[in-house]
């Protein structure tokens, strides 16, 4: 595993992302509120550029038939192509437990963001 | 001749072998006003809302990702597939498409057939001016002509107006109709397009209101509506076959785009069986329904079907040759886009026909194109 510079912390504002090239591999680094995440940019479904998708939440059922709840707002990345959803923190697919996107450690040091790939 | 030097020809554009034809691309005007300026009066100055031109947004069913690939917005702004430079980068560059057939979804069915026909006329003029001319220096775009499905005379007039145009290579009928596609009111359209050698294309273009009604009522969710697209196409296909349309118009070709495809196999079994056993109800039908389908109908691969066991798709299609019936489509820039690599699901020997040969034959397109730089 190697550490790669993403850039200075102040250049990645909260709510933003940066998709960088790490030795030929595209990695998306996100800053959502106070947390940082890094995921592979390749969607495991059909290869879409996952890290260009919207940050969103998802829907779960409540007690009654039309009783829907909106949960995990801001914790989910939705693929820009066919809208598959993945947890930013784990890369786990929301809909298909067998699907997972590789995730990477993000390290902050001396005012810089690094990703470990 | 020995010893004679052949003089070099003046530098000619190099020709490239076409390898991918995409039969479903959806260009947009940069703004509703861009299209509005082409609408003939009285419809232009009467104050119609922009919703009339809205390709896919709907207050009734909302598709995921606002129905667009979220990465298809150009940095210069405007809706997806309105900036020819950015779209060329994604479609020709990233996806590797050689030809794109443009199907503008800028005409929703409206209550008044004359109004609908006016928006069709505007769409055709706009498409011709922009994507088929100004943006088409490379010659890689062709288009579908929009006509109103609701008034045959107006449709015929619009087709006649463009007859012989090199870029309009098929005629679109909106499948959200109140009359199945085989019935006689459409026959003058079929007569004309068969004579001109233009296929008819059916492509979903939703409208709010009654046409969203399924045979059993209104669905609650977009996914229900989307899953049922194929039913609408099946209705029209059954009608075309059993009304004897392909017997009456032996040159008629019909392309079904974005309705899925695997459903056609069991449907054809059922149609064949009925016809073989008790065909007397439909004496106009002289051949097995599946033969008409094979000879007169093509389906787009998009949205690709994804059975959990990939092999199932191939097995199903062994029964009806996929290499013959299917044509590749991306549906760019929409959310249910398919990249060309999806065609890897089909048997090796069918792939080139799906990606290229079938569409070149169907639309009579050149198999090589000049190597023109994109921008
Ligand atoms: S490629 Fe990401 S959902 Fe299909």
User: Phi and psi of A103, rounded to 5°?
Assistant: -120, 160
Higher pLDDT, B311 or A107: A107
In angstroms, the Cα distances linking B255 to B42, B135, B157, B233, B324 are 33, 25, 22, 10, 13
Instruction: Determine what percent of chain A is predicted with pLDDT higher than 90.
Output: 87
Domain count, chain A: 1
Report CB contact under 8 Å: A83, B65: yes
Nearest residue on chain A to B341, alpha-carbon basis: A46
Q: Does pLDDT of B175 surpass 70?
A: yes
Tell me whether residue B31 is in a domain.
yes
Neighbours of B147 (CB within 10 A): 30
Residues with Cβ < 8 Å from B158, sequence gap 6 or more?
A: B117, B120, B121, B124, B145, B146, B147, B148
Q: How many CA atoms lie within 13 A of B51 on its CB side?
A: 11
Alpha-carbon span A52 to A59, nearest angstrom? 21
In this prediction, residue B6 carries a pLDDT of 53
Q: By residue range, what is the domain housing residue B34?
A: 17-367
Q: Does pLDDT of B320 surpass 90?
A: no
Of B71, B341, B342, the CB nearest to A49: B71
For residue B296, give the nearest of B248, B237, B246 by alpha carbon.
B246
In this prediction, residue B328 carries a pLDDT of 97
In this prediction, residue B21 carries a pLDDT of 98
Cβ of residue B310 closer than 8 Å to a chain A Cβ:
no
- Span A2-19, mean pLDDT? 95
Q: How confident is the model at residue B288 (pLDDT cuts 50, 70, 90)?
A: very high
Mean pLDDT of chain B: 91
Q: Does pLDDT of B1 surpass 80?
A: no
In this prediction, residue B264 carries a pLDDT of 94
Of A46, A49, A78, the CB nearest to B342: A46
Cβ pair A26, A51 in contact under 8 A: yes
Sign of the Cα pseudo-torsion (A82, A83, A84, A90, in order): positive
- Span B310-338, mean pLDDT? 86
Q: Does pLDDT of A38 surpass 90?
A: yes
- Span B70-93, mean pLDDT? 96
Chains A & B: contacts with CB separation below 8 Å: 36
Domain count, chain B: 1
Report CB contact under 8 Å: A81, B335: yes
Instruction: Determine what percent of chain B is predicted with pLDDT higher than 90.
Output: 71
Q: By residue range, what is the domain housing residue A105?
A: 3-116
Rounded to the nearest angstrom, the distance between the alpha carbon of A84 and the centre of ligand 1 is: 6
Q: How confident is the model at residue B375 (pLDDT cuts 50, 70, 90)?
A: low
In angstroms, the Cα distances linking B286 to A52, B234, B245, B279 are 54, 20, 11, 9
Q: What CATH number has the domain bearing residue A57?
A: 2.102.10.10
Cβ pair A91, A84 in contact under 8 A: no
Tell me whether residue B373 is in a domain.
no
The Cα of B264 is separated from the nearest Cα of chain A by a number of Å equal to 24
Tell me whether residue B6 is in a domain.
no
Q: Could you read off the pLDDT of B133-153 as tens digits, one per residue?
A: 999 999 999 999 999 998 999
In this prediction, residue B57 carries a pLDDT of 63
What residue's CA is closest to ligand 1, atom 3? A82
- Span B194-204, mean pLDDT? 97
Q: Could you read off the pLDDT of B57-77 as tens digits, one per residue?
A: 666 788 899 899 999 999 999
Q: Does pLDDT of B221 surpass 50?
A: yes
Cβ of residue A80 closer than 8 Å to a chain B Cβ:
yes
Q: Does pLDDT of B11 surpass 60?
A: no
**Cβ-Cβ contacts under 8 Å, A47 against chain B:** 339, 341
Q: How confident is the model at residue B214 (pLDDT cuts 50, 70, 90)?
A: confident
Structure-block tokens of residue B329: 């489509």
Tell me whether residue B253 is in a domain.
yes
Pocket of ligand 1 (CB under 6 A): A 43, 45-48, 50, 79, 81-82, 84
Q: Does pLDDT of B47 surpass 80?
A: no
Q: Does pLDDT of B316 surpass 80?
A: no
Residues with Cβ < 8 Å from B344, sequence gap 6 or more?
A: B351
What's the burial of B178, exposed, middle or buried (CB within 10 Å: 0-12/13-18/19+)? exposed
In this prediction, residue B307 carries a pLDDT of 87
Q: Does pLDDT of B2 surpass 50?
A: no
Report CB contact under 8 Å: A82, B335: yes
Cβ pair A37, A106 in contact under 8 A: yes
Q: Does pLDDT of B10 surpass 70?
A: no
Alpha-carbon span B67 to B337, nearest angstrom? 10
Report CB contact under 8 Å: A82, B339: no
Alpha-carbon span B154 to B114, nearest angstrom? 8
Rounded to the nearest angstrom, the distance between the alpha carbon of A107 and the centre of ligand 1 is: 28
Tell me whether residue B23 is in a domain.
yes
What's the burial of B368, exposed, middle or buried (CB within 10 Å: 0-12/13-18/19+)? exposed
Cβ of residue B69 closer than 8 Å to a chain A Cβ:
yes
What's the burial of A70, exposed, middle or buried (CB within 10 Å: 0-12/13-18/19+)? exposed
Q: What CATH number has the domain bearing residue B140?
A: 3.20.20.140
Mutate to test the pocket of ligand 1, among A28, A41, A43, A51 (most ligand atoms within 8 A of CB): A43
Q: Does pLDDT of B8 surpass 60?
A: no
Q: Does pLDDT of A53 surpass 90?
A: yes
Higher pLDDT, B7 or A28: A28
Tell me whether residue B348 is in a domain.
yes
- Span B233-254, mean pLDDT? 98
User: What is the distance, to the nearest Å, from the Cα of residue B182 to the centroid of all Cα atoms in its chain?
Assistant: 18
Q: Does pLDDT of A101 surpass 50?
A: yes
């Amino acid at each position: 595993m190697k550490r790669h510079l993403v850039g200075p912390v102040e250049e990645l504002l909260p709510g933003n992302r940066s998709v960088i090239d790490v030795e030929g591999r595209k990695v998306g680094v996100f800053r959502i509120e106070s947390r940082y995440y890094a995921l592979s940019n390749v969607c495991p479904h059909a290869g879409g550029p996952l890290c260009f998708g919207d940050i969103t939440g998802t829907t779960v059922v409540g007690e009654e038939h039309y009783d829907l709840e909106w949960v995990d707002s801001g914790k989910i990345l939705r693929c820009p192509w066919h809208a598959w959803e993945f947890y930013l923190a784990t890369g786990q697919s929301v809909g298909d437990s067998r699907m997972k996107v590789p995730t990477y450690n993000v390290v902050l040091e001396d005012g810089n963001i690094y990703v470990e790939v | 001749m020995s010893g004679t030097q052949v003089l070099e020809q003046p530098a000619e554009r190099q020709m490239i072998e076409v390898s991918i034809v995409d039969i479903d691309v959806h260009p947009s005007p940069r703004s509703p006003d861009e299209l509005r300026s082409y609408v003939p009066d009285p419809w232009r100055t009467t104050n119609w809302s922009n919703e009339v031109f809205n390709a896919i947004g709907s207050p009734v069913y909302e598709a995921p990702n606002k129905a667009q690939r979220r990465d298809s917005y150009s940095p210069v702004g405007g809706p997806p597939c309105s900036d020819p430079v950015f779209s060329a980068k994604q479609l020709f560059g990233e996806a590797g498409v050689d030809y794109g057939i443009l199907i503008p979804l800028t005409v929703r069915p409206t209550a008044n057939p004359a109004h609908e026909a006016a928006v069709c006329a505007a769409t055709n003029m706009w498409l011709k001016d922009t994507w088929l001319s100004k943006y088409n220096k490379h010659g890689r775009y062709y288009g579908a002509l929009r006509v109103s499905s609701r008034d045959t005379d107006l449709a015929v007039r619009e087709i006649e107006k463009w007859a012989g145009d090199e870029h309009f290579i098929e005629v679109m009928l909106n499948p959200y109709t109140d009359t199945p596609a085989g019935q006689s009111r459409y026959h003058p359209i079929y007569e004309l397009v068969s004579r001109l050698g233009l296929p008819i294309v059916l492509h979903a273009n939703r409208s709010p209101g009654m046409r969203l009604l399924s045979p059993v009522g209104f669905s609650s969710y977009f996914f229900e509506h989307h899953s049922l697209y194929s039913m609408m196409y099946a209705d029209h296909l059954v009608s075309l076959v059993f009304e004897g349309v392909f017997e009456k118009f032996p040159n008629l070709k019909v392309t079904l785009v974005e309705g899925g495809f695997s459903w056609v196999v069991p449907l054809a079994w059922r149609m064949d069986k009925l016809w073989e056993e008790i065909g007397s109800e439909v004496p106009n039908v002289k051949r097995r329904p599946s033969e008409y389908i094979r000879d007169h109908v093509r389906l787009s691969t998009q949205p690709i079907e994804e059975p959990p066991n990939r092999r199932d798709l191939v097995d199903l299609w062994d029964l009806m040759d996929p290499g013959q019936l299917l044509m590749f489509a991306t549906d760019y820039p929409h959310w249910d886009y398919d990249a060309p690599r999806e065609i890897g699901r089909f048997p090796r020997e069918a792939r080139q026909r799906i990606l290229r040969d079938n569409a070149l034959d169907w639309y009579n397109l050149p198999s090589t194109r000049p190597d023109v730089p994109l921008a």
